[in-house]
Amino acid sequence: MKGSIVLFGPPGAGKGTQANRIVSLTSKPQVSTGDMLRQAVSSGSELGVAARAFMEAGELVPDDVIIGLINQRLKEEDASSGVLFDGFPRTIAQAEELSKIAQLSVVISIEVPDESIVERIVGRRMDPETGNIYHIKFNPAPESIAHRLIQRKDDNESTVRTRLSAYHEQTSPLASWYESQGLLIKINGNRSIKKVGDDIISELSDK
Ligand code: ADP
Ligand code: ADP
């Protein structure tokens, strides 16, 4: 596959969880704007300071900040054969900008109903050493690393509701935008991690 892939879906859909398998299959690097922003926040950079309040409130970070980040990232050498976008684009303005700087092969939309999202987000845990994502109930971490798991500051019930509204208002319109371009593939994300991943891999293998 020549172009880039977009992993699309609401917060907690399983984009980060599925990214590893897609990276192994395609050898395209994962570009997660959420991870990039969290790194900027923890390094205390100017960009991180600007983004932090939006993230903690569950609101989208302004488009110009995100577009600046992506522009810079795509100039790196490993991005020359396309990347796996995770959590980007999230607005029509971001998608329009992206269409000027990268060619997309496919947009994988992982569909999960709102009722499942809150439980997924509140139970999410991350391993800061490997970046691996776990869930207290659906994907428990091995006992040996349980002590070092962290919970994201924005993974609480009130912030997740704001994030879901932002998704419905600003991000979900992108699905029909990409559908009309013939790029969208819908995946039922309300099944086991393995089944969802198998479906994605089989769709991508046909491309
Ligand atoms: P996103 O990157 O889309 O925000 P994540 O991959 O971080 O989503 O997943 C959110 C939470 O839901 C994590 O705790 C993850 O372990 C869990 N999860 C992911 N996929 C599934 C699934 N198919 N079934 C149940 N839980 C899942
Ligand atoms: P999740 O998939 O759980 O919603 P992410 O890690 O993708 O989480 O994003 C965390 C937060 O970072 C978002 O709530 C938002 O504030 C910000 N963010 C990430 N990507 C973008 C983006 N493309 N546009 C605007 N804000 C973003």
All domains of the chain in start order, with CATH: 4-28+81-205 (3.40.50.300)
Ligand 1 within 6 A of CB of 135: yes
Which of 163, 164, 171, 172 to mutate to test ligand 2, by most ligand atoms within 8 A of the CB atom? 163
Peptide linkage before 89 cis (omega within 30 of 0): yes
Q: What is the mean pLDDT of residues 66-71?
A: 97
**Ligand 1 centroid from CA 84, angstroms:** 17
CA distances from 153 to 25, 41, 56, 156, 157 (A): 32, 12, 7, 7, 11
pTM equals 0.97
In ligand 2, the atom with minimum distance to the C-alpha of 59 is: 16
Cα–Cα distance measured from residue 33 to residue 5, given in angstroms and rounded to the nearest whole number: 14
- Catalytic residue IDs: 15, 90, 124, 152, 163
Tokens, residue 12: 């907690």
- Pick the ligand that lies closest to the CA of residue 88: 2
pLDDT band at 207 (very low <50, low <70, confident <90, very high): confident
Cα–Cα distance measured from residue 149 to residue 168, given in angstroms and rounded to the nearest whole number: 30
Average pLDDT, the chain: 97
Q: Percent of the chain beyond pLDDT 70?
A: 100
**Ligand 1 centroid from CA 58, angstroms:** 17
**Ligand 1 centroid from CA 100, angstroms:** 31
Which of 32, 55, 70, 120 to mutate to test ligand 2, by most ligand atoms within 8 A of the CB atom? 55
What pLDDT is attached to residue 62? 98
**Sequence-separated (6 or more) residues with CB below 8 Å from residue 89:** 6, 95, 97, 98, 174
**Ligand 2 centroid from CA 114, angstroms:** 17
**Ligand 1 centroid from CA 13, angstroms:** 6
What pLDDT is attached to residue 75? 97
Q: What is the mean pLDDT of residues 63-71?
A: 97
Q: Percent of the chain beyond pLDDT 90?
A: 98
Q: What is the mean pLDDT of residues 81-87?
A: 97
Q: In what order do the strands lie in the sheet with 84-86?
A: 30-32, 84-86, 4-8, 104-111, 184-188
Instruction: Give which of 41, 44, 60, 63 is closest to 52, Cα–Cα.
Output: 41
Residue nearest to atom 23 of ligand 2 (CA): 88
Ligand 2 within 6 A of CB of 14: no
What pLDDT is attached to residue 1? 86
DSSP-based three-state secondary structure for 84: strand
pLDDT tops 90 at residue 206: no
Q: How many CA atoms lie within 13 A of 32 on its CB side?
A: 15
CA distances from 126 to 135, 150, 176, 200 (A): 8, 5, 32, 23
pLDDT band at 131 (very low <50, low <70, confident <90, very high): very high
Scan for tokens 């046909």, then name that residue. Answer: 206
Q: Read off the pLDDT of residues 23-35 as tens digits, 9 standing for 90 and up.
A: 999 999 999 999 9
Instruction: Give which of 133, 106, 130 is closest to 14, Cα–Cα.
Output: 133
Strands 133-135 and 124-126 turn out to be: antiparallel
pLDDT band at 121 (very low <50, low <70, confident <90, very high): very high
